[in-house]
Amino acid sequence: MASDYNLTPNEKNVLLALEELKNANPDELAQKAGMKVETAMQAAFLLDENGLARVDEKVIETYGLTDEGKKYADEGLPERQIINSISGPVSMDELKDKFNPAVVGIATGWLRRKAWATIEKGMIVPTGNADSGDDEKVLDKFGGQERTLEELDASPALMKDMLKRKLVTKNEDKHRSVSITSEGSELVAAGIEVEEEIAQITSEMLKSGQWKNKKFRAYNIQTPPRQIYGAKVHPYQRLIDQMRRIFLDMGFTEIKGEIVQSSFWNFDSLFQPQDHPAREMQDTFHLSSRSELPPEYKDQVCAMHEHGGDTESTGWGGKWSEEIACKNVLRTHTTALTIKYLADNPEPPVKAFSIDRAYRRETIDPTHTPEFEQLEGVVMDKDMSFANLLGCLKEFYHRMGFEDVRFRPGYFPYTEPSVEPEVYVDGLGWVELGGAGVFRKEVTDPLGIKYPVLAWGLGVSRLAMLKLGLKDLRLLYQSDIDWLRKSPVCQL
Ligand SMILES: N[C@@H](Cc1ccccc1)C(=O)O
Distance between CA 439 and CA 292 in Å, rounded?
A: 25
- Residue identifier of the C-alpha nearest atom 8 of ligand 1: 436
Residue 61 neighbours by CB distance under 10 Å = 13
CATH code that applies to domain 1-62+142-199: 1.10.10.10
Residue of 276, 279, 333 best suited for mutating to test ligand 1, as the one with most atoms within 8 Å of CB: 333
Q: How many CB atoms lie within 10 A of CB 92?
A: 14
Q: What does the alpha-carbon distance between residue 211 and residue 189 come to, in Å, rounded to a whole number?
A: 31
Torsion of CA 478, 482, 485, 486, to 10 degrees: -120
What integer pLDDT is reported at residue 37 of this predicted model? Answer: 95
Give me the residues paired with residue 487 across strands.
none
Q: Half-sphere exposure of residue 227, counting CA atoms within 13 Å on the CB side?
A: 5
Confidence of residue 1 (pLDDT cuts 50, 70, 90): very low
Q: Are 115 and 127 in contact (CB under 8 A)?
A: yes
- ipTM score: 0.98
Query: Taking the CB of residue 158, how many other CB atoms lie within 10 A of it?
Result: 16
Q: Which of 374, 379, 412 to mutate to test the pocket of ligand 1 (most atoms within 8 A of CB)?
A: 412
On the question of a cis peptide bond just before residue 126, with omega within 30 degrees of 0, the verdict is no
Q: Cβ of 445: how many Cβ atoms within 10 Å?
A: 21
CATH of domain 67-131: 1.10.10
Burial 396-435 (b: 16+ CB within 10 A, else e): bbeebebeebebeebebbbbeebbbbbbeeeeeeebebbb
132: which residues sit within 8 A by CB, 6+ positions away?
none
| Topology adopted by domain 237-486 | BirA Bifunctional Protein; domain 2 (3.30.930)
Give which of 402, 445, 400 is closest to 422, Cα–Cα.
402
Determine how β-strand 117-120 pairs with β-strand 123-126.
antiparallel
Atom of ligand 1 nearest to the CA of 439: 7
Per residue in 176-210, pLDDT (tens digit) is 999 999 999 999 999 888 877 788 889 999 999 98
What's phi and psi for 298, nearest 5 deg?
-65, -35
**What is the band of 423 on the pLDDT scale with cuts at 50, 70, 90?**
very high
**Residues 179, 25: Cα–Cα separation, whole Å:** 9
Query: What spacing in Å lies between the alpha carbon of 460 and ligand 1's midpoint?
Result: 13
> Residue 392 pLDDT more than 70?
yes
- For the segment 96-153, what is each residue's pLDDT rounded down to a tens digit? 888 888 888 889 899 999 999 998 888 899 998 889 999 999 999 998 899 999 999 9
Question: In this structure, what is the dihedral angle of CA atoms 468, 474, 479, 480, given to the nearest 10 degrees?
Answer: -80
Q: CA 383 to CA 12: how far, in whole Å?
A: 87
On whether 335 is known to bind a ligand per the annotation, the reply is: yes
3-class SS string, 257-271: CCCEEEHHHHCHHHC
Concatenated DSSP letters for 61-94? EEEEE-HHHHHHHHH--HHHHHHHH-SS-EEHHH
Contact 266, 333 (CB under 8 A): yes
CA of 404 to the centre of ligand 1 (A): 21
The mean pLDDT of 15-25, rounded to a whole number, is 94
Query: Would you state the pLDDT for residue 9?
Result: 86
Domain boundaries, the chain: 1-62+142-199, 67-131, 237-486
Cβ distance 169 to 63 under 8 Å? Answer: yes
Which residues line the pocket of ligand 1, CB cutoff 6 A? 333, 335, 412, 415, 434-437, 455-457
Determine the atom of ligand 1 nearest the C-alpha atom of 335. Answer: 1
DSSP 3-state assignment of 361? Answer: coil
Ligand 1 center–CA 405 separation, angstroms = 18
The letter for the amino acid at 81 is Q
Mean pLDDT of 323-331: 97
C-alpha 334 – ligand 1 centre gap (Å): 8
pLDDT band at 4 (very low <50, low <70, confident <90, very high): low
| Residue 341 is assigned to a ligand binding site | no
Does pTM top 0.80 for this prediction? Answer: no
Percent of the chain with pLDDT over 70: 99
Question: What does the mean pLDDT of the chain come to?
Answer: 92
Indicate if 237-486 has the same CATH topology as 67-131: no
Residue-level pLDDT at 355: 98
pLDDT (tens digit per residue) in 22-60? 999 999 999 999 999 999 999 999 999 999 999 999 998
pLDDT tops 70 at residue 462: yes
Q: Over pLDDT 90: what percentage of the chain?
A: 74
Alpha-carbon gap, residue 393 to 208, rounded angstroms: 73
Ligand 1 atom closest to Cα of 338? 6
**Which among 414, 409, 401 has a CA at the least distance from the CA of 443?**
414
Of 271, 309, 303, give the one whose Cα is nearest residue 413: 271
Residue 219 vs residue 263, higher pLDDT? 263
Atom of ligand 1 nearest to the CA of 332: 11
| pLDDT above 70 (res 492) | no
Nearest residue CA, atom 11 of ligand 1? Answer: 333
227 is in an annotated binding site: no
